[in-house]
A and B are shown apart, each in its own frame.
Chain A
Amino acid sequence: MNVNGVPILDHYDPEAPSAIEFRRLYSRLKYRMQEKPFFPLLLTSSKHEEGKTTTAAFLALTIARQDEGKVVLVDMDLHRPRIHRLYGLPMQGGVSEFLQGAAKMDGLPKRTSLANLDILTSGRMMRSPSGLFDPPQLRGLFEALEERYAMVVVDSPPLLAVSDTMILSTHVASVLLVVMAGKTPRDVVTRGAEILRDVNAPLAGVVINNSKGVLPYYYSYKYYGYRRKE
């Protein structure tokens, strides 16, 4: 295990609008789930480029900063892994090695400069990663993670693109669906939700990515921030 530079933390401002909204998201999730356990928490979206990886990366960071226990962020998008890049970590040595049986969980998650946050990267790229999504192997992965971490946050591939996320969603306690406002067609979102419903996935809620600024003005970032006047 080696401590690496964390680019996402280098730029992180706890008073930034996005940071405030991620804390709010986590609070709402906790409030909504009451006493029900909601980890492992899976983040997904209907199609690619809706912001699920960024959301997963920030949510894991937000949770880790709450000091409620050890958090691990898992990159289960073995097709287009990105978490390692956001955290400035090497990709090798992660999910794919574990699922292949080539590595044990001990020493596999990589440490970050945030004491409470570890990252399990996607591991070595494979030609057909979907073949690794074998239910017993996945169960083993989550059991190993839950033994070591209080909170497991999982990033995944888009629902419509591959079957991986559908399979994954049956191994987690809750699912958050990220929707890019102003970009993702309604039918595509409907289809994504249907896929989750078909397998009785524990869909906890939706996260709207308003990075295109298409929502009404009261969602605007100018209403964020409430610091003491100088």
Chain B
Amino acid sequence: LGVALGAAAMMIGEYFDTSVKDVHDAEEIVGAPILGTIPFIEYRFEPKKRRRGYGTGWLVGVVGAALVVALAGFLFYRSRGGEAVEPPEEGRNGTAETAAEDGSPSGEVAP
């Protein structure tokens, strides 16, 4: 299930990722030639900023996943509980209450 969920998340991510990921893609969009691709700058010159972007991204992901799991669990529990557990409980409670209600006044009245 985990693998399937992971794969689904990746596919959804890919589907919604509209960023430029291809050099020819960029060339076509802009209508000008690609003159360079900068790999990365090996060093930074400014104090490192707190990467809040990543933090919130992870947080949203984890909270989202937790919510999905919780919702799935809740629905699963309800679907099983609704059929098998709830009616007898209601029934039992109902009978117990009626018995008590029936019992107590009759008990008071009888002596």
A11: CB under 8 A from chain B?
yes
Residue among A181, A214, A220 with the highest chain B CB neighbour number at 10 A = A181
Known A-B contacts A181-B19, A186-B18, A186-B25; the reply to A18 vs B42 at CB < 8 A is yes
- Measured CB to CB, the closest approach of chain A to B17, in angstroms, equals 8
The CA of A13 and the CA of B29, in the complex, are separated in Å by 33
| Interface segment out of the listed B33-41, B60-68, B72-80 | B33-41
Instruction: Write out the residue numbers on chain A whose beta carbons fall within 8 Å of the beta carbon of B38.
Output: 18, 21-22, 25, 51, 55, 58, 207-211
Q: Which residue of A lies closest to B25 (CB)?
A: A186
Contact of B18 among A28, A58, A187 (CB under 8 A): A187
Contacts of B39 in A (CB 8 A): 17-18, 21, 210-211, 213, 219-221, 224
For chain B, residues 14 to 66, give those with C-beta under 8 angstroms from any C-beta of chain A: 18-23, 25-27, 29-43, 45-46
Count of chain B residues with a beta carbon within 8 Å of a chain A beta carbon: 26
**Number of interface residues, chain A, beta carbon within 8 A:** 53
Task: Return the CB mask of B81-94 against A: 1 if under 8 Å, else 0.
Answer: 00000000000000
Partner of B35, one of A13, A18, A207: A207
In the complex, which residue of chain A has the Cβ closest to the Cβ of B42?
Answer: A16
A215 located at the interface, meaning its Cβ lies under 8 Å from any Cβ of chain B in the complex: yes
A-B contact pairs, 21 of them (CB 8 A): A7-B45, A17-B40, A18-B42, A21-B36, A32-B33, A58-B41, A177-B30, A181-B23, A181-B37, A182-B19, A184-B20, A185-B19, A186-B25, A197-B31, A203-B31, A203-B32, A205-B33, A208-B26, A208-B34, A210-B37, A220-B39
Listed in ascending order, the chain B residues whose CB lies under 8 Å from chain A are 18-23, 25-27, 29-43, 45-46
A interface residues with partner B (beta carbon < 8 Å)? 7-8, 11, 13, 16-18, 21-22, 24-25, 28-29, 32, 51, 54-55, 58, 82, 85-86, 176-177, 179-187, 189-190, 192-193, 197, 203-211, 213-215, 219-221, 224
